[in-house]
């Protein structure tokens, strides 16, 4: 009369798949570490440049930002108010210039590539900011520098 209770079909232990998963992840990490320590870099070629403009940005005494074309020394645009994104991007590039002892007179390059991406490049430090990563509204500020 005493029958043992059935526990259902026997399941294989779950430890075996976890071990294989951990081994696989370990191999991936080892491969990535090997590539990093060998100095190999994964780079993607930029699209050709559609237009570029050399600009110097100057703070005016009344708190505005003046964008001056480097080639003809004429004011291209003047920004009033806070201009948080413009100031923030310029401040990030100026910080590296200051760290290296480079003055403010060197121009920045605003580049538009044929694929529509905008880049702000500091040729004196080789730092670059891909403006598309900040959204279309913020990158539109720099798209207004397109030569007419």
Model confidence over 96-128: pLDDT tens digits?
A: 999 999 888 899 999 999 998 999 999 999 999
pLDDT tens for residues 16-62?
A: 788 899 999 999 999 989 988 888 776 778 889 999 999 999 988 98
- What are the distances in angstroms from CA 69 to CA 6, 16, 53, 112? 84, 66, 7, 16
Supply the DSSP string of 93-140, one letter for each residue.
HHHHHHHHT--TTSPEEEEEETTS-EEEEETTTTEEEEGGGG-HHHHH
52 class by beta-carbon count within 10 Å (0-12 exposed, 13-18 middle, 19+ buried): middle
Q: How far from the centroid of its chain's Cα atoms is residue 68's Cα?
A: 25
């Amino acid at each position: 009369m005493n029958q043992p209770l059935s526990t259902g079909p026997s399941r294989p232990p779950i430890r075996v798949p976890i071990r294989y998963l951990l081994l696989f992840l370990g191999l991936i990490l080892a491969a990535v570490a090997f590539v990093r320590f060998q100095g190999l870099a994964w780079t993607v070629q930029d699209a050709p440049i559609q237009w570029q403009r050399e600009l110097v940005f100057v703070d005016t005494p009344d708190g505005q930002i003046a964008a001056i074309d480097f080639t003809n020394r004429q004011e291209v645009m003047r920004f009033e108010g806070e201009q948080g994104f413009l100031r923030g991007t310029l401040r990030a590039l100026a910080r590296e210039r200051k760290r290296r002892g480079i003055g403010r007179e060197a121009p920045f390059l605003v580049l538009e590539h044929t694929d529509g991406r905008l880049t702000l490049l500091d040729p004196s430090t080789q730092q670059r900011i891909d403006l598309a990563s900040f959204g279309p509204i913020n990158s539109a500020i720099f798209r207004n520098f397109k030569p007419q």
